[in-house]
Amino acid sequence: MKAEAQLLVKGGRVVDPASGLDQVADLLISEGKIERISEPGSELRAERVIPAQGKLVVPGLIDIHTHLREPGREDEETILSGSQAAVAGGFTAVACMANTQPPIDSQEGVRFVLERGREAFCRIYPIAAVTKGLRGEELTEVADLVRAGAVALSDDGNPVSSSQLMRRALEYSKAFGVSIISHCEDRDLSSGGVINESFTSTLLGLGGIPSLSEEVMVARDIQLAQFTGGRLHLAHLSTAGSLELVREAKGKGVRVTAEVTPHHLILSDEQIRASFDPNLKVNPPLREREDVDALREGLADGTIDCIVTDHAPHSSEEKDVEFDAAPFGIIGLETSLGLILTELYHKGLLDLKPIISLMSTNPARILGLPGGDLRPGGPADVTIIDLEKEWEVEPARFKSKSRNTPFGGWRLKGKAVVTIVGGRIVYQEGV
Amino acid sequence: MGREHLLGIEGMPAERIKLILDTAESFKEVLERPIRKVPTLRGVSVANLFFEPSTRTRVSFELAEKRLSAELVNVSAASSSVLKGETLKDTARNIEAMKVDIVVIRHSAPGAPHFLARCLESSVINAGDGAHEHPTQALLDLLTLRERFGELKGLRVVIVGDITYSRVARSNIWGLKRMGASVALCGPPTLMPLRVEGMGVEVYHNLDQALQGADVIYVLRLQLERQKEGLLPSLREYTNQWGITAQRLTKLKQKFIIMHPGPLNRGIEITPEVADGPYSVILDQVTNGVAVRMAILYLLSGGKVEG
Amino acid sequence: MDRKILDGGDIKRILVRMAHEVIEVNRGAKDVVVIGIRTRGVYLAQRLAKIMEEIEGVQIPVGSLDINLYRDDFQTRAEQPVVGRTEIPFDVLEKIVILVDDVLFSGRTVRAALDEIIDFGRPKAIQLAVLVDRGHRELPIRADYIGKRLSTSRHQEVIVKVREEDGVDEVILSEGVEA
């Protein structure tokens, strides 16, 4: 992990959606920054050369929705272990949510995360709480939080149930240029629910979470964003109805962005029917096939701005129990890229450039983070991907401290093989 | 080597249902002998894990086990370490360390028996998992109906009440449909689960309409909490709209019988005169419960291989 | 190679002889009841009782017994046999029970039947009648009335057919399959 003064990534197919670049080229990194991109076979020299023939060289992937559990649940994940999982999955930066124990709702909290982040394998960006203690009652001190380094505000895990408070948050945060990331869930409508309310919940007798509980909040937040002019980012959308609302809002010029997770893009609630597998328990819940199709369409037409993992680690003592008793959440840092490449790229549903936009360029833009492109002079955060590499998801070998994935045993095609953060090789396949 | 389980009626082939009912009929004769006990399951141990209060089902299983000479151990939520925060998995592992062959489980969480079946070597019998399934109840109901009508095919069964929260309804729908009966559901829209028509049933909200031509009126227990949860404006209105009263039944032209899984809320979903009246087969259901559970214990106990 | 041991006529003569033996031993048919072991023992029991009724001019109650619930090989079987009905619509107390089966082999079926009958009440006596005794006893059990003694090897199979179930009355000794 020693930083080389100079690093040459040679002969890879360089794809940078920000500049529109997509060609075989050599990429020279110097002093932690992108120095230059040149025609292949150029005379560039460096202390260390990474041969990338046949590989994809892209701006480092950025995940703006993770739960790293530190402070409070270091048995499930730490900022260090989470970052190790991140770089193994090709991510060079992650933003972590505020619902730790205690929540990140003060400058001290933000500084703690940043400090831990300095020892991490990738860049760590704290997201601070919208309300004190995530209680949904009083706004946090936004100015202080932003000054300390918070990149966005979110009560994720909880909605901001009070419309009044959400209005104030969107208004107030405008002064500091940060987004409010909204976990859209009407807790009255979702009460008692553990899976999507559908024919599946009817058959299984499990409590249903209706699509409606997400959609009424998406509709509310869009209205509030339109009214206040605040910056709204909608977390983990899961229903066709939500997509329709966002599409319409964007058409009207509302400042709203939206994200989806790989699991909502791939799995539907029927999977629970055969298994009652608590690893399929997640919030928002896995929806129906038509919702999955609508989300995929939203990726293609730009309604969805980015793909995030919503990496939510849980200990197996807590997760490996009867379905009702299990906590919500799926981990995703080490499977996200492989899943997207396998299920969307290799199946011909989405091209590489949009995938890189959704997983790097756009997330950086949404939160105003460095990186997300390969612009000379920018930070040398680079991911090298082997599109053809076939591998099996083996939770026992995860770098994450947790194992709660429904994808164990899946055969995937496509994987990050080298991850470079600030010019340092932080992950290299097989090393 | 996988053990056989009884987790639900969904997907159970008709031949299997028939075998269970036939076997249960043979066991009914055992219940009439001077010594109502056979040595069949000597040396077989059964754990009854009741994480939810239940008198009827628990007693029925216990009787079935005793009459087959099985050894049994009872764990109920009140007495077990469940209250001390021990997980279902730990409880189950401890039970298994005692070399239990069959685990009977009643739990409020749908899929709890499936969870046990995944983590135990024993055979698992679902004695009711939340609102999901209650397979032994459905089988005893099918036996009761077969005794009454000789044939299940072509029967029209109307299930009345709180369908959303009813495991009895779900298991019965699967079983009745599989055996060729037609099923209609009737109850308030707030207690009718989403898209339940997909199970191949008709849905009514008007009780008098639903009861037209019914051979069987299956009355579900109404949990009194439903009113507090805001699913019903009042119990009085529920009784007026969906309660089974003698007055309502006199309007029916056809012959029919009344069933109820118990325990009854007399005066709410059913009036006492109907519950104790001539159409009622509620006590037959109870008798058949023991025979059906004996049959299931018997059939599962031999299965050392998946079958 | 299958060999026919008894035909319909043989079986008929055996049952007539047995009926006479039972009546002789018990000095009439008073207090005699007949219980057949499912499946083929039941038909033999019915026929035996009918012959005795004709001889003695009295009614002889007949029952049927399914011994599956009393078997001792429960732990070793892969699948449970189908349980048939046991029908003993009379009191066995102080009765002479003639227990009828088609073939006596290890004696385990008879052991189960004895236990089961005793659970119905305490008979004055139980006597065993079998169509074929093929030897190889594993328990100290013997028949009181034997239609035909047959020396067999263990892997051979004695197949009894009755017209009520199989359309024909006969007993076949089959070579079976070497275990």
Q: Cα distance from B136 to chain C (closest Cα, Å)?
A: 19
* Residue A276 at interface with chain B, using a CB cutoff of 8 Å: yes
Q: Which of B111, B133, B196 sits opposite A322 (nearest CB)?
A: B111
Closest residue in C to B41 (Cα) is C74
Measuring CA to CA, which residue among A156, A402, A412 is closest to residue A279? Answer: A402
Q: Which residue of C has its CA nearest to B37?
A: C119
In three-state secondary structure terms, C178 is coil
Angstrom distance (rounded) from CA B24 to CA B31: 11
**Maximum pairwise Cα distance, chain C:** 49
How far apart, in Å, are the Cα atoms of B261 and each of A209, B166, C41? Answer: 29, 11, 41
Interface test with B, best of A275, A276, A277, A280 (most B CBs within 10 A): A276
- B305/A contact by beta carbon, under 8 A: no
Residues 6+ apart with CB under 8 A from B118: none
Can you give the pLDDT at residue A3? Answer: 58
pLDDT of residue B307: 31
* B51: chain A residues, CB-CB within 8 Å: none
Closest chain B C-alpha to C130 CA, distance in angstroms: 25
Q: Which of A408, A365, A374 is nearest to A15 (CA)?
A: A374
d(CA B105, CA B112): 8
DSSP A235-247: -S---HHHHHHHH
- Beta-carbon separation of B40 and C71 below 8 A: yes
Token digits of residue A325: 């008793």
The shortest CB-CB distance from C80 to any of B34, B37, B298 is to B298
**Chain B partners of A199 at a C-beta cutoff of 8 Å?**
194-195, 198
CB distance B109–A208 less than 8 Å? no
Nearest to B43 among C75, C87, C121 (CB): C75
Chain A neighbors of B199, CB-CB under 8 A: 202-203
Angle among Cα B166, B168, B173 to the nearest 5 degrees reads: 105
DSSP state for residue A102 in the 8-state scheme:
S
Neighbors of chain A with 3 or more C-beta pairs under 8 Å? B
So what's the pLDDT on residue C73? 79
- pLDDT for C4 equals 95
What DSSP character marks residue A358? I
Which of C69, C79, C82 faces B307 most closely, judged by CB atoms? C79
Contact B145, B89 (CB under 8 A): no
**Is the pLDDT confidence value at C179 over 50?**
no
Contacting residues of A for B111, CB less than 8 Å apart: 204, 206, 276, 322-324
**Which of the four pLDDT bands, split at 50, 70 and 90, describes residue B305?**
very low
pLDDT score of B76 more than 80: no
The answer to whether the CB of A30 falls within 8 A of the CB of A16 is: no
The length of chain B is 307
Model pLDDT for residues C68-122, shown as the tens digit of each residue: 999 887 667 767 888 888 999 999 999 999 999 999 999 999 999 999 999 999 9
Domain boundaries, chain C: 9-71+83-152
Round to the nearest angstrom and report the end-to-end CA distance of chain A.
11
Picking from A320, A322, A323 by the largest number of B CB atoms within 10 A of its own CB, the best residue to mutate is A322
Give A412's contacts (C-beta < 8 A, 6+ positions apart): A335, A338, A339, A341, A342, A390, A391, A392, A393
Q: Which of B114, B131, B199 is opposite residue A205, by nearest beta carbon?
A: B131
CB A153 within 8 A of CB A125: no
Q: DSSP state, C121?
A: -
Q: Inform me whether the C-beta atom of residue B303 falls under 8 Å from chain A C-beta atoms.
A: no
* Minimum Cα–Cα distance from C85: chain B residue: B26
| Listed residue (A312, A250, A256) closest to A284, CA to CA | A312
Give every CB contact of residue B50 below 8 A, 6+ residues apart in sequence.
Answer: B58, B74, B75, B76, B77, B105, B106, B127
Instruction: Say if B51 is an interface residue toward chain A (CB within 8 Å).
Output: no
- Please name the residue of chain B whose CA is at the shortest distance from the CA of residue C83: B23
Are C90 and C33 within 8 A, CB to CB? Answer: yes
- The CB density around residue A137, as the number of other CB atoms within 10 Å, is 11
Contact list in C for residue B27 (CB cut-off 8 A) is: 83
Residue B88 pLDDT greater than 90, yes or no = no
Q: What is the mean pLDDT of residues B195-210?
A: 97
Q: What span, in angstroms and rounded, lies between the C-alpha atoms of B222 and B268?
A: 8
Count Cβ atoms below 10 Å from residue B251 Cβ, excluding itself.
9
Domain A6-57+378-428 has CATH 2.30.40.10: yes
Q: In the predicted model, what is the mean pLDDT of chain B?
A: 91
Question: CA B299, CA C94: separation in Å to the nearest integer?
Answer: 35
Question: What's the pLDDT score for residue A371?
Answer: 96
Nearest-Cα distance to chain C for B169, in Å, is: 29
Q: What is the three-class DSSP state of B242?
A: helix
CATH code of domain A60-367: 3.20.20.140
pLDDT digits (tens, 9 = 90+) for C10-55: 999 999 999 999 999 999 999 999 999 999 999 999 999 999 999 9
Pair B191, B207: CB distance under 8 Å: no
Strand, helix or coil at C165?
A: helix
Q: Find, in chain B, the residue whose alpha carbon is nearest to that of A318.
A: B87
Q: Which of A397, A398, A262 is nearest to A330 (CA)?
A: A262
Tell me what the mean pLDDT of segment B32-49 comes to: 92
**Using the beta-carbon criterion (under 8 Å), do A205 and B110 form an inter-chain contact?**
yes
Q: Strand B216-219 vs strand B156-160: parallel, antiparallel, or unpaired?
A: parallel
For the question of whether the overall pTM of this predicted structure is more than 0.90, the answer is yes
Q: Sign of the CA dihedral A384, A312, A254, A369?
A: negative
Contact yes or no for B198 and A201 at CB 8 A: no
Our answer on whether C and A touch (3+ beta-carbon pairs < 8 Å) is no
Cα torsion angle, B277, B279, B285, B287, sign: positive
Pair type for strands C170-174 and C3-6: antiparallel
Average pLDDT on B180-186 reads 98
The torsion angle over the Cα atoms of residues A89, A92, A98 and A99, rounded to 10 degrees, is 10
Chains that touch B (3 or more CB pairs under 8 A): A, C
Taking CB atoms and an 8 Å limit, are B194 and A197 in contact across chains? yes
The interface predicted TM-score (ipTM) is 0.93
Share of chain B above pLDDT 90, in %: 79
The rounded distance, in Å, linking the Cα atoms of B141 and B9 is 12
Nearest-CA neighbor of C88 among C132, C129, C126, C142?
C126
Q: What are the structural domain ranges in chain A?
A: 6-57+378-428, 60-367
Q: List per-residue pLDDT tens for chain A, 431 residues long.
A: 455 679 999 999 999 999 999 999 999 999 999 999 998 877 778 889 999 999 999 999 999 999 999 999 999 999 999 999 999 999 999 999 999 999 999 999 999 999 999 999 999 999 999 999 999 999 999 999 999 999 999 999 999 999 999 999 999 999 999 999 999 999 999 999 999 999 999 999 999 999 999 999 999 999 999 999 999 999 999 999 999 999 999 999 999 999 999 999 999 999 999 789 999 999 999 999 999 999 999 999 999 999 999 999 999 989 999 999 999 999 999 999 999 999 999 999 999 999 999 999 999 999 999 999 999 999 999 999 999 999 999 999 999 999 999 999 999 999 999 999 999 999 999 65
Q: Would the CB atoms of C78 and B305 count as touching at under 8 Å? A: yes
Q: How far is CA C26 from the centre of its chain?
A: 18
How far is residue B25's CA from residue B40's CA, in Å, rounded to a whole number? 16
Tell me, yes or no, if A310 is annotated catalytic. Answer: yes
CB A134 within 8 A of CB A153: no
Distance CA B265, CA B219 (A): 11
**CB-based contact, C94 to chain B, within 8 Å:** no
- Does the distance separating the beta carbons of A205 and B133 come in below 8 Å? yes
Contact criterion met (CB below 8 Å) for B107 and A325: no
Give the Cα separation of A373 and A357 in Å (integer): 9
Look at residue A5 in the predicted model and tell me its pLDDT: 78
Judge whether residue B93 has pLDDT over 90: no
CB A393 within 8 A of CB A52: no
Tell me whether residues B129 and A198 touch, CB distance under 8 A: no
Q: Is C49 left (phi over 0), alpha (psi -120 to 50) or beta?
A: alpha
Question: Distance (Å, rounded) from C-alpha A60 to C-alpha A67?
Answer: 19
Helices and strands, counts by H and E, chain B: 12, 9
Question: Is A184:A217 a contact under the CB 8 Å cutoff?
Answer: yes
For chains A and B, having 3+ Cβ pairs within 8 Å is answered yes
Which CATH architecture is the domain C9-71+83-152 placed in?
3-Layer(aba) Sandwich (3.40)
Rounded CA-CA distance A313/A309 in Å is 11
Which of the residues A291, A310, A381, A386 is marked catalytic?
A: A310
Amino acid at A224: L
Q: Which of C35, C67, C73, C74 to mutate to test the interface with B (most CBs of B within 10 A)?
A: C74
